[in-house]
């Protein structure tokens, strides 16, 4: 079972926990579970450990995800990281996650690290969505993805697994965002854009409509992408040009 933590918006603030209760469906690219959401109201008194999640990673990104969970009144059972630290009074463990039964969110900004860790873990992943983001009801959001404050995902777009849709970024209609992508703060993807696995879209980037961006691409901050981009390229500038 994949858990979606809020699909709210400024226009409709409802404190609910959205649960997906149907089997996974395989799409051509990427793989998503079907968009069928059953709202379940959960008060703070009713919450148990089964309603909470585990955070994997204790860096800066984890602090933002932790705040999203607090806003949605979803508990955090445990926090894991290679370095023992403390976040908001939570002790950070560096033991194995293999026996954890709660849903997991991998709160690490590095795309390759998120892929490596997700492939090494067994179990289910939570998907955290800030209450002040706007998610169209026809879009699909993959497991483990985090959508932050002010982000917009418009009609018929598909967001893959373990993506980061960062603060005030926008994904317009009919986009396909593959797994492990990071769309940085303030980036804007126009309609029908496809972004390949593991790609990093830098802060303030603009990608015009219909562009195809390959796998494991790096788009520098503030770039304007007006041409398709091949796998592994690094693009900077206005208009965007390949530098390696």
Positions marked active-site: 173
Task: Tell me if residue 236 falls in helix, strand or coil.
Answer: strand
Q: Which residue has the tokens 């965002």?
A: 177
For residues 128-152, one letter each, b for 16 or more C-beta atoms within 10 angstroms of the residue's C-beta and e for the rest, the string is bbbbbbbbbeebbbbbbbbbbbbbb
DSSP-assigned letter for residue 227: S
Structure tokens at 65: 């995800």
Strand partners for 87: 90
d(CA 92, CA 78): 7
Residue 170's contacts (CB-CB under 8 Å, 6 or more residues apart) are 151, 152, 153, 154, 187, 188, 189
Q: Are 82 and 95 in contact (CB under 8 A)?
A: no
Please, is 80 exposed, middle or buried when counting C-beta atoms within 10 Å of its C-beta (0-12, 13-18, 19+)? buried
Structure tokens at 235: 């693009």
């Amino acid at each position: 079972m994949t858990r979606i933590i809020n699909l709210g918006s400024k226009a409709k603030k409802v404190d609910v926990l959205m649960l997906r209760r149907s089997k996974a469906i395989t799409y051509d690219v990427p793989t998503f579970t079907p968009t069928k959401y059953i709202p379940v109201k959960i008060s703070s008194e009713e919450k148990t450990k089964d309603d909470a999640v585990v955070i994997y990673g204790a860096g800066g990104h984890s602090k933002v995800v932790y705040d999203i969970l607090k806003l949605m009144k979803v508990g955090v059972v445990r926090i894991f990281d290679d370095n023992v630290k403390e976040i908001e009074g939570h002790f950070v463990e560096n033991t194995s996650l293999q026996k954890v039964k709660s849903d997991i969110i991998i709160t690490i900004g590095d795309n390759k690290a998120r892929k490596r860790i997700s492939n090494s873990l067994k179990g289910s992943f939570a998907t955290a969505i800030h209450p002040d983001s706007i998610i169209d009801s026809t879009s699909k959001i993959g497991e483990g993805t985090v959508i932050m404050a002010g982000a917009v995902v418009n009609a018929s777009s598909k967001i893959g697994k373990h993506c980061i849709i960062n603060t005030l970024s926008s994904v317009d209609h009919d986009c396909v965002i593959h797994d492990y992508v990071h769309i940085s703060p303030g980036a804007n993807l126009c309609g029908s854009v496809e972004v390949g696995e593991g790609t990093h879209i830098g802060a303030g980037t603009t990608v015009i409509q219909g562009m195809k961006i390959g796998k494991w691409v790096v788009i520098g901050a503030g770039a304007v992408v007006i041409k398709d981009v091949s796998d592994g390229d690094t693009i900077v500038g206005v208009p965007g040009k390949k530098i390696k």
